[in-house]
Amino acid sequence: STGGLDLIFMPGLGFDKKGNRLGRGKGYYDTYLERCMKHPSGKPYTIALAFREQICESVPVAENDVQVDEILYEDC
């Protein structure tokens, strides 16, 4: 009723540069974001904060996994 969220900071154990996220396997964030996509205001923008060591070549994904819009990390 309030219009939804504009931004969500996404947690994760690992990420790849395509925006895929390795979570803890429960799917809570993916389920919530799927519900948001059906709402008229749409999906909130998603950002993940990560250490450089958390960035991987690829992360295994399932069909229902939602990609992170932006991953911020230090790249030296």
Chain centroid, CA 21 distance in Å? 6
Token code pair at residue 7 = 């931004």
Which of residues 61 and 39 earns the better pLDDT score? Answer: 61
- Name the superfamily (CATH) of residues 7-72: NagB/RpiA/CoA transferase-like (3.40.50.10420)
pLDDT averaged over the chain? Answer: 90
pLDDT of residue 21: 95
pLDDT of residue 1: 53
Per residue in 20-51, pLDDT (tens digit) is: 999 998 889 999 999 888 888 888 999 999 99
Domain ranges of the chain: 7-72
Token code pair at residue 30 = 């993916």
Q: Which residues contact 5 (CB under 8 A, 6 or more apart)?
A: 36, 44
Token code pair at residue 21 = 């996220």
pLDDT band at 3 (very low <50, low <70, confident <90, very high): low
Residue 54 CB coordination number (10 Å): 18
